[in-house]
Amino acid sequence: MTRKEKLLDKVKRNVRNTSLEDFEALINAYGRIEEGSKHPKAIIGEGNYPMSYKREKRIKSCYVKQLLDIIDSL
C-alpha cells in the first residue's frame, strides 16, 4: 500500500473527524490547492473538478464526502 492509498483509507474510515492537515495532504496527493479570496480552492485531477472549502481545525464532513466522491470518479 502506498502512502497515498494509506491516507485515503484513513480519511475514508474517519469522515466526520478529519483534520485539516490530512484533508489538505489528500488534496495535494490527487491535485493542488489554489489560494483564493476567502476560501482556498482544491483543483482535483486535470482541473476538471474545482472545489472550494473553508479552512477549519476539523473539516466538515460535507467537504470530505465531496472530495472522496471526486477522487472516486477519477
Domain that holds residue 59: 3-73
Predicted local distance difference test score (pLDDT) of residue 37: 75
Predicted local distance difference test score (pLDDT) of residue 49: 86
Predicted local distance difference test score (pLDDT) of residue 45: 85
Strand order in the sheet with 31-34: 31-34, 41-44, 49-52
pLDDT digits (tens, 9 = 90+) for 51-68: 999 998 899 999 999 999
- How many domains is the chain partitioned into structurally? 1
CA 3 to chain centre: 15
